[in-house]
Structure 1
Amino acid sequence: MSLDDDLVARARDGDADAVGVIYSTLAPKVLGYLTMRGAEDPEALTSEVFLAVIQQRRQLHGGADGVRRFVFSVAHHRYVDDVRRRNRRPATLAYEPSDDPRTDSPAEDVAIEQVSLAEVRALLRQLTPDQAAVISLRMMGDFSLQETADLLDRSVGSVKQLQRRALEALRQMITNEVDAG
């Protein structure tokens, strides 16, 4: 089932199946967006986003695009809140491997997954916060320039400029790494 006006209307009226379709369609993208931005616990934040969406379901309008904009607007604001919270109270708990009940994946799989994600995060951290937000929303959220501008309360021209500067900065960083390596 895809996101459409009927589904949005049903979700707005509290239909659990319709809300489930919205969740299953958008949660992976929201998780990807929050992970790319470097959220401390992207899975928990994704849950918070959808709890907020369910609580505010009466505000769901505009079909698939409206729901997507609303969900990612909530995700962006939750991410900003997460950053502010971390800046006020940095985490002080140390990781204890002996207390971790999870089983280990093969080391190669973990290394390959983490290296690429770590590299992308490292590159995004070198951008300005606004540039990182634009790149993350455009790439992970698959938002248009206008949608990105609306989510960030900026003009389309400003988003274009941020995107152009971010891509140029990323190109330069990658070129420098290749030249150095």
Structure 2
Amino acid sequence: MRVELESVPCRAAGDADLPSALERARRGDEDAFRVLYRAVQPGLCRYLRVLVGQDAEDVASEAWLQITRDLTSFRGDLAGFRAWTATIGRHRALDHLRHRRRRPVADAPAEWFPERAAPDDTASAAIEATTTDAALALIATLPRDQAEAVVLRAVVGLDAKAAAAVLGKRPGAVRTAAYRGLRTLADRLGGQV
């Protein structure tokens, strides 16, 4: 199956009949795959942003290549699909971090890149991105197990059992890590809310 995917920024997509779209996508329906991609990509991107920072879009692209390749072999419901995509994304993120440690990258100055006008409402996108980035940056200050548990439960929307499968932990450990992470965030934001 060859599907052209446009870049979907980290924002919510409208829900369609996702369980039906999953079944149709497994059978090769490209339109159904697009529906799934638009529904799952924002949460996956936010999760990956906690793990790899600004490289989240690149890692998500690698994850979607594997998801597309292996979709016909996936068995499960929509919640299982979300957990499966998060697991693949996590594996690609860990690969990316190992690669980056072996071959560090130098940043390039902005002057090296030509300016182009944005096709959408740049101001709204910037405000949304800044708010999302700030929230994810705050979550990223938590210990890694708590940060991953919070993002998988609160942002990606996985239940404790599915998040536990992604992280290779017991559901109780995931619930505890998410609870502790959310309590820490609440304490840090105590005077700012």
TM score, norm. by length of structure 2 = 0.75
Write the letter of the residue equivalent to 2:148: A
Q: Residue 152 of structure 1 corresponds to which residue in structure 2?
A: 167
Preserved CA contact (<8 Å) 2:60 2:89: yes
Pairing partner for 2:91 from 53, 57, 77: 77
Preserved CA contact (<8 Å) 2:149 2:177: yes
Preserved CA contact (<8 Å) 2:25 2:33: yes
The CA deviation string for residues 22-79 of structure 1, in whole angstroms up to 9 with x for no partner, is 2222222222322344433322222222111111123211132222221121122222
Specify every segment of 5 or more residues in structure 1 that has no aligned partner in the other structure, as ranges.
Answer: none
Q: Residue 56 of structure 2 corresponds to which residue in structure 1?
A: 42
Q: How many Å apart are 1:148 and its aligned residue? A: 0.8
Q: Residue 137 of structure 2 corresponds to which residue in structure 1?
A: 122
Q: How many Å apart are 1:133 and its aligned residue? A: 0.5
Q: How many Å apart are 1:155 and its aligned residue? A: 0.6
For residues 31-70 of structure 1, the aligned pairs below 5 Å read: 31-70=45-84
The CA deviation string for residues 86-117 of structure 1, in whole angstroms up to 9 with x for no partner, is 23322213222352323379997576445433
1:167 and 1:160 map into 2 onto residues whose CA distance is: 11
Residue 138 of structure 1 pairs with residue 153 of structure 2: yes
Specify every segment of 5 or more residues in structure 2 that has no aligned partner in the other structure, as ranges.
Answer: 1-15
Preserved CA contact (<8 Å) 1:31 1:43: yes
What is the CA RMSD across the aligned residues, in angstroms? Answer: 2.8
Q: Which structure would you say has the larger Rg?
A: 1
Give the secondary structure class of the aligned counterpart of 1:39: helix
Residue 20 of structure 1 pairs with residue 14 of structure 2: no
1:59 and 1:25 map into 2 onto residues whose CA distance is: 20
TM score, norm. by length of structure 1 = 0.80
Pairs aligned (count): 176
Larger deviation: 110-119 or 26-35?
Answer: 110-119
1:32 and 1:53 map into 2 onto residues whose CA distance is: 17
Q: How many Å apart are 1:137 and its aligned residue? A: 0.7
Give the secondary structure class of the aligned counterpart of 1:100: coil
Pairing partner for 2:117 from 95, 103, 126: 103
1:34 and 1:65 map into 2 onto residues whose CA distance is: 18
